[in-house]
Amino acid sequence: MSCECFKGSQWRAGISTDHQSAADLTDRLSGSGSKSPRKPQRQHFDSELVSFTSYHCSLTSAPKMAGVRALGVLSRFTSRRYALYSGATCRTFSVAPAMLARTHVNYEVKGDVAVVRINDPNSKVNTLSVQMQKEMAEVMDEVWANNAVQSAVLISSKPGCFIAGADINMIQGCNNAEEVTTLSKEGQKMFERIEKSPKPIVAAINGSCLGGGLEFAIACQYRIATKSKKTVLGTPEVMLGLLPGAGGTQRLPKMVGLPNAFDMMLTGRNIRADKAKKMGLVHQLVDPLGPGLKSPEERTMDYLEEVAIEYARGIVSKKIPIHKVKGSMEKIQDYVMSFGLVRNQIYNTVQSKVMKQSKGLYPAPLKIIECVKAGVEQGPVAGYLAESQNFGQLAKTSESAALIGLYQGQVACKKNRFGTPQREVKTLAILGAGLMGAGIAQVTVDKGVHTVLKDTTVSGLARGEQQVYKGLNDKTKKKNITSFQRDSILSNLTGQLDYSNFAKADMVIEAVFEDINIKHAVLKEVEAVVSPHCIFATNTSALPIKDIAAASKRPDKVIGMHYFSPVDKMQLLEIITTDKTSKDTTASAVAVGLKQGKVIIVVRDGPGFYTTRCLAPMLAEAVRVLQEGVDPKKLDALTTSFGFPVGAATLADEVGIDVAAHVAEDLGKAFGSRFGGGNVEVLKTMVDLGFKGRKSGKGCYIYQPGLKTKEVNPDIVDIGQSSDQDSPCYRLVSRFVNEAVLCLQEGILINPLEGDIGAVFGLGFPPCLGGPFRFVDSFGADKLVEKMRQYEAVYGNQFTPCQLLLDHAKDSTKRFHM
Amino acid sequence: MASMLLNTMRAGSVSPSWAVRLGARSLSTTAQLHAQVQTKSKKTLSRPGVKNIVLVEGVRTPFLLSGTTYADLMPHDLARAALQGLLQRTGLSKDAVDYIIYGTVIQEVKTSNVAREASLGAGFSDKIPSHTVTMACISSNVAMTSAVGLIAAGQCDSVVAGGVEFMSDVPIRHSRKMRKTMLSLNKAKTLGQRLSLIGSIRMAHLSPELPAVAEFSTAESMGHSADRLAAAFGVSRVEQDEFALRSHTLAKSAQDAGLLKDVISFKVPGRDIVSKDNGIRPSSMEQMGRLKAAFIKPHGTVTAANSSFLTDGASAVLVMSEEKALAMGYKPKAYLRDFVYVSQDPKDQLLLGPTYGTPKVLERAGLAMSDIDVFEFHEAFAVSSLTSDGKETVQAFAFLGDCVLLICLVILRCVFVFQGQIMANLKAMDSDWFGQTYLGRKSKVGAPPMEKFNLWGGSLSLGHPFGATGCRLVTTVAHRLQKEGGQYGLVAACAAGGQGHAMVIEAYPQ
């Protein structure tokens, strides 16, 4: 199978694993054990954050500063101005023309309830942009001034999105930390006014309610959410190296308790509506409706609004209590939390877990703890101050810039720049039901694509089908899908040993053994049975696509699709095009990948393409480091403290020593001594000894089933002799980075952005560095070249910087990312 | 008018108390019905080459609230009573039918082919084969249409179809773990093996497994779905309560007027003779308004009062080819004409069967909505009748809610069909948007006029023994056609699983 079998190399492991710590803590404190199913941390990042961004940067960034100031002015004056009018006149005179002028926020008075509607006309999602905030302040002032209005309902006009967060461009556009702090203070002020509103405000939430959106909602007096799958609440700021900067760090702990608040803010995870209700984050739930007198989406929104209005009236008439009656567990928890000692223990535990898992490389989680602590221990004034100041500081850190860059890159890599393919892939056939093949089936079959899984043996097929079933069944156990959905999804999967259904296939992805002869054989077999339009995609990690395509009668239909194992967890898909691959074939492959939920980079053909080619020299260097006598554990510790989610020795084991040896040999032939480093013979010896990595139970470590801890393989220590060394991290990283830059120089990579995304999402390059290209920018090409020259003197040409890197070193104005 | 009177007299001749009924009927005949009778000159739906199949007679046991007089019976006892009633009413000889089919939903494990046990117990010849069918709330419709199929295909000439549901007792099983242990225990050979198996039993093994509380495919209870459906179609609480009140009021007057002549008297072993449905309790809007939402709390609109209640009951009809019926000297009540089964998304359109079925069956029959004189839609049921006073119900519910372990509540919830559902169907049929988007029509189906709709009450007030309701609907249409002088009637019903049924019934010429 393909070589990237390592798991857990998600780029945001540093932050996301905090989730574990905080969740553990929550469990311990609330005594609930570990019953609550935890979502796999990686996979939901994309869905939550796609909506977190704003796509309308050009619109909001221009009038930004002026807008922010205007907001402050308005919020101070408007309420007094409107108070002069009586309710009725106010409506007649001020509302009508204002409604025409306003584009983002509008309101309508239904009886005694003002229904405030949010809708950003320029985007699929609502963000708290300058314009939005300004209009919101205006509208709220009118609502407060209107005597006919007793209460308000806050609702979005977009069915899939309440408010997806603050406008990132607004934050990025600030020149210094002070400006961001001001921004945060304005937000705090606005939400404070919402919180202290004399007329109850009910937030009616359908769709994503994230970041600033959630902070807005929790400032309201009452929250009603739909039980729709799209409805998620969360504070994903930490994933962008930020913190909830508009009162979130202050209000959340009060609302859901310290442990839950830390869990939410430190992991940034999404909370579904039912969980939110249990946590006390929302008061009521509303069911999404099916088709009725209108489309389900429209009618659900109407219904939500109707129910919210009902509650708003109920709150005014005191029929509906705003504060939930606390259960005995909550009372006990509150009591326990009233001891400073207990709280301190929590801060310390959370802090140490964060430090352990982020290695101190990510400042945001630590700042979040600081802000919460300030608010709880020193009161709101200190808390809000700490929040706004830390927010300002964080926004200007390189880590935040790197994470935001990755996020934006990820969004960019979720688009098909090759256009819409002529044919939609409705039937996808996969050759080989191994870990890879079945993994590809797993991410395809639940997207409504008829998936054919072919293997050569019954046992192989059974294993593969079981893998697909297990993946779905695990989702059922976590209640992400019902058992019925699982069954109906599985009905789209056909397992077989022959080519019988291949005539219907629109695309065939082969995931057979990495051997050019086998690849040629299946290519010919497939071409004999498929229809003329069918695309042949090959899932290889190192074999050049053009060599595989050489056996094809129609090389324009041949393309490389390099998945990473485990396919259902790893977000990256590397698509490799040859000179002969047609544009429509590429468009189709990208479309399939996007459907599978992948982040896609499209690279040109060459030995090792992009990802494998960058990884190989790094692993070669890791082997050399091991040979020099560095203990695998030490190497792992060093690399993880540099920011790699998975240590280099573990990575080698996960990839498979045999695969590494294979690739090292192949690429060594193609690229010569630059790919040297550790002696390939060492790898081969290890393979001969049966040390193939995790899959054989022994590699750099010894793996025992059921045991999480792993011991260093004692035999491996004999491979090298002991010597004292500096941190070898820069040796590993500089070779990685140099190869990446060389890929750009040679045109394998189209742009640095895809290079960063590929390295972080596929290979676990430290997310806090933002990828190899951003690393060069922030570290300084000149400094890197200087380091490499030193290594070159000791180790030879493997450290010779490439031309593009030298160019950048010479001219400090040259940057990969602007 | 003359023909109508004649008709009633004929029909009445079967009944022992025909004179009383005749009086009642004359009184209830309205001016509007006269008008209808006069304008009737519709073609028959008889088609060359297609056998005319007739409903000879239809009877049912009184429908009783679960846990009342029938409490100690078994399902086949009820079915037996209905079959015996049919024999008595028709004077049919016990070997004169070719086949017996029964519909049921919640099966008693001991009598899984309840049709066979009931027919043997009712004294039918043991040479008559019988089978049981299930299709949720339209199970007995399936029984009837299966009979129609057998006759149309020439395999049979006369078939008894029916349905039975007994909710006073439902199968509650051991947990799967416990069952597994017990089954292994059977196979255990040594004492040691047995002891170790017994030793493996934990507390968790002992919790019982209740009958499904929700739609299997969506894990949503029907009440929940009905509430969402009501919201989707903007059916308000008041509308639902008004409809419930209408159903109970109409049922009450029909009962008082003796119109429900399909009901037979049944001497319950160890108890009194039962001869009336006991769930009809007209309440007031105020009383109903006091109830809290039963499923979607607290802002839902489906309450105990506007949903149907758990019912025990059985029904039976005699279906024959027209020649056979005439040859045996029967005067048929109606022709069973076109019918359709439909199915939709079990999540969001769970209860919209009538909306889909009605236009389809009308199209098949070549009729327009305006051609139909009698509508009988399955309207499902209400918990309120557990007690006559809404207030008490609330208390009962609060009590039940507190005792979470009370199995009955869980079971109660599993099977209600609702009345918000019927309003939603009416609104769906009246919506252009729905017609265009979901039914693929140019415009709306059109809602049935209320003056022709469920005039003798419905499942909501009379009760809804799932498996038995279909026969009640068809028999009621036949009786109403005779009584009101119409020519065509339409039966429509929804069922769990997102399915539905509709059938056109034509009056037998007088």
| pLDDT for res A504 | 94
| pLDDT for res B299 | 87
Give just the sign of the alpha carbon dihedral A255, A260, A264, A270. Answer: negative
The per-residue pLDDT for range B392-438, each reduced to its tens digit, is 333 333 333 332 223 333 333 333 444 567 888 888 888 888 988 88
| pLDDT tier for residue B113 given thresholds of 50, 70 and 90 | very high
| Cβ–Cβ gap B229/A292 under 8 Å | yes
Count Cα atoms within 13 angstroms, Cβ side, for B103: 28
Which span out of A148-157, A643-652, B384-393 was modeled with the highest average pLDDT?
A: A148-157
| pLDDT tier for residue A509 given thresholds of 50, 70 and 90 | very high
Q: What is the mean pLDDT of chain A?
A: 84
What is the longest distance spanned by two Cα atoms in chain A?
Answer: 89
Work out the average pLDDT over A98-103: 66
| pLDDT tier for residue A619 given thresholds of 50, 70 and 90 | confident
CA distance A153 to chain B (A): 16
The per-residue pLDDT for range A730-783, each reduced to its tens digit, is 899 999 999 999 999 999 999 999 999 999 999 999 999 999 999 999 999 999
- pLDDT greater than 50 at residue A322: yes
| DSSP-derived secondary structure letter, A55 | S
Of residues A625 and A15, more confidence is placed in A625
Interface of chain B toward chain A, CB-CB under 8 angstroms: 216-219, 224, 227-229, 231-234, 296, 299, 345, 347-349, 424, 427-428, 431, 433-434, 437-438
> Given A370, A574, A654, A739, which residue is catalytic?
A574
- pLDDT greater than 80 at residue B203: yes
- pLDDT greater than 80 at residue A523: yes
| pLDDT tier for residue A22 given thresholds of 50, 70 and 90 | very low
Of residues A482 and A39, more confidence is placed in A482
Q: Given 3-state DSSP classes, what are the helix, strand and coil percentages for chain A, each rounded to the nearest 5? A: 55, 10, 35
d(CA B382, CA A334): 43
Work out the average pLDDT over B54-58: 97
Q: Any chain B CB within 8 A of the CB of A290?
A: yes
d(CA B32, CA B325): 33
| pLDDT for res A717 | 54
| pLDDT tier for residue B213 given thresholds of 50, 70 and 90 | low
β-sheet bridge partners, residue B342: B500
Give A 468-497 residues with CB within 8 A of chain B.
Answer: 482, 484
- Which residues in chain B have their CB less than 8 angstroms from residue A290's CB? 228-229, 232, 345, 347-349
| pLDDT for res A100 | 52
Work out the average pLDDT over A802-807: 95
| Cβ–Cβ gap B349/A484 under 8 Å | no
| Cβ–Cβ gap B433/A294 under 8 Å | yes
Work out the average pLDDT over A556-580: 94
Work out the average pLDDT over A619-634: 86
| pLDDT for res A11 | 37
Of A50-64, A337-351, A558-572, B373-387, give the lowest mean pLDDT range: A50-64
Tokens of A794: 């000791």
d(CA B65, CA B278): 7
The per-residue pLDDT for range B132-159, each reduced to its tens digit, is 999 999 999 999 999 999 999 999 999 9
pLDDT above 90 coverage of chain A, percent = 62
Mutate to test the interface with A, among B215, B216, B224, B228 (most CBs of A within 10 A): B228
* Residue in chain B nearest A294 by alpha carbon: B433
Q: What is the mean pLDDT of chain B?
A: 83
Q: Given 3-state DSSP classes, what are the helix, strand and coil percentages for chain B, each rounded to the nearest 5? A: 45, 15, 40
| pLDDT tier for residue A706 given thresholds of 50, 70 and 90 | low
φ/ψ region of B446 (left if φ > 0, alpha if ψ in -120 to 50, else beta) reads left
| pLDDT tier for residue A73 given thresholds of 50, 70 and 90 | very low
| pLDDT tier for residue A58 given thresholds of 50, 70 and 90 | very low
By Cβ distance, the residue of A284, A291, A482 closest to B434 is: A291
Helix or strand or coil: residue A71?
Answer: helix
- Which residues in chain B have their CB less than 8 angstroms from residue A289's CB? 228, 231-232, 348
- Residues B265-288: b if buried by 16+ CB within 10 A, e if exposed: ebebeeeeebeebebbbbbeeebb
Given a contact cutoff of 8 angstroms between Cβ atoms, the answer to whether A131 and A60 are in contact is yes
| Whether the bond into B298 is cis, omega within 30 of 0 | yes
CA distance A477 to chain B (A): 14
| pLDDT for res B21 | 40
Helix (H) or strand (E) holding A624: helix A611-627
Give just the sign of the alpha carbon dihedral A661, A667, A672, A677. Answer: negative
Q: Any chain B CB within 8 A of the CB of A296?
A: yes
| pLDDT for res A630 | 84
The per-residue pLDDT for range A77-94, each reduced to its tens digit, is 333 333 333 333 334 344
What Cα–Cα distance (Å) separates residue A410 from each residue in A305, A600, B317?
34, 8, 67
Give just the sign of the alpha carbon dihedral A196, A197, A199, A200. Answer: negative
Work out the average pLDDT over A146-173: 93
What Cα–Cα distance (Å) separates residue A186 from each residue in A162, A251, A373?
21, 16, 22
By Cβ distance, the residue of A284, A286, A292 closest to B233 is: A292
Tokens of B282: 């007209």
Q: Nearest to residue A154, comparing CAs of A98, A94, A200, A87?
A: A200
- pLDDT greater than 90 at residue A686: no
| pLDDT for res A719 | 52
